[in-house]
Amino acid sequence: MNKDLLLSHIKSIPDFPVPGVLFRDVTTLYQDAECLREMTSAVAGIYKDCGITKVVGIESRGFILGASVACALGAGFVPIRKPGKLPREIYSVTYMKEYGPDSIEIHRDALEEGDVVLLHDDLLATGGTTEAALQLIRKFSPKTIYANFIIELAEEFPDSRKRIDVPVRSLLQL
């Protein structure tokens, strides 16, 4: 994987979404075809022998690479969404983010007992959203769960992995 290529395409936006936050914008990675191929290939390569049956992406940036990786692995894709976006019966969890409380939801028929799940999101910061997503996924009694991120803010949030009790891999650590 060409880490220098990926790093050169990440934009850092100060004071977004609130003053004092340095936002890591990965949309520039997705709009570059070579970066998208690199990331898809790298993530699929990590999990190619794990028997992944479903890739679960967290709204909204987790959908982009998550769906691409699901296709590369021959797995299904399942979205975890913000409240009010899913039309059928759902499971929901409320949790604390860096900026206050938030909720996420998943369809009650999205996964099956025994699935091997890869949870994907663009960024691991505090780990709160991932922890909440794992609560939802566990309602289905999957066989195994893995977690993957494009970027991990390891220096800024060194304890985030402690909140995640599944194997975690990230493509880049900042």
Catalytic annotation, residues: 61, 98
Residue 15 has pLDDT above 80, yes or no: yes
Q: pLDDT (tens digit, 9 = 90+) per residue, 43-91? A: 999 999 999 999 999 999 999 999 999 999 999 999 999 999 999 999 9
CA distances from 137 to 25, 62, 144, 149, 160 (A): 26, 15, 10, 17, 19
pLDDT of res. 18: 86
Q: pLDDT (tens digit, 9 = 90+) per residue, 32-56? A: 999 999 999 999 999 999 999 999 9
ω into 158 cis (within 30 of 0): no
Pick the more confident residue, 18 or 48. 48
Kindly report the average pLDDT of the chain as a whole number.
Answer: 95
What are the chain's domains?
Answer: 49-173 (3.40.50.2020)
Q: What percent of the chain has pLDDT over 70?
A: 99
